[in-house]
Amino acid sequence: MMAQVDVLLDAGHPYSEAANESVIESVDSLNPYMHARGVAYMVDNCSKTARLGSRKWAPASTNLLTQLAFTAVDEGKPGDASLIDRFKKNPSTRCSPSAPSSGPASTSR
């Protein structure tokens, strides 16, 4: 998701579009769909290219996580600080400022 945001922002798309096309789309559509139907159902109903790609690269991604990332964490190795800094500096990882609150609604007249 972050890679998609980066690509859209680098291509000059406005932040609102990058957020809508990745974060909001995921939260409002993709995640509920996967929760209701399951990832396998979603993959089975994708295009042939997406279906073959996900089935080809899912095992490779899982192996990278289990063999490299998880073992590095278990061994107490520090993460790549430059990647963490880049993530923190990405505008899509910042929360928007809170709107001023008018306080709780009054029930008295």
Do the beta carbons of residue 21 and residue 4 sit within 8 Å?
yes
Q: Cα–Cα distance between 26 and 33 in angstroms, integer? A: 9
pLDDT of residue 37: 92
The DSSP symbol for 90 reads S
pTM for the whole structure: 0.43
User: What pLDDT, in 10s, does the model give residues 8-41?
Assistant: 888 998 888 888 888 888 888 888 888 899 988 9
Mean pLDDT, rounded, for 43-68: 86
pLDDT of residue 31: 87
User: What pLDDT, in 10s, does the model give residues 58-79?
Assistant: 888 888 888 888 888 888 888 8
More confident: 107 or 55:
55
Share of the chain above pLDDT 90, in %: 6
Q: Cα–Cα distance between 43 and 45 in angstroms, integer? A: 5
User: What pLDDT, in 10s, does the model give residues 76-89?
Assistant: 888 888 888 887 88
Do the beta carbons of residue 100 and residue 16 sit within 8 Å?
no
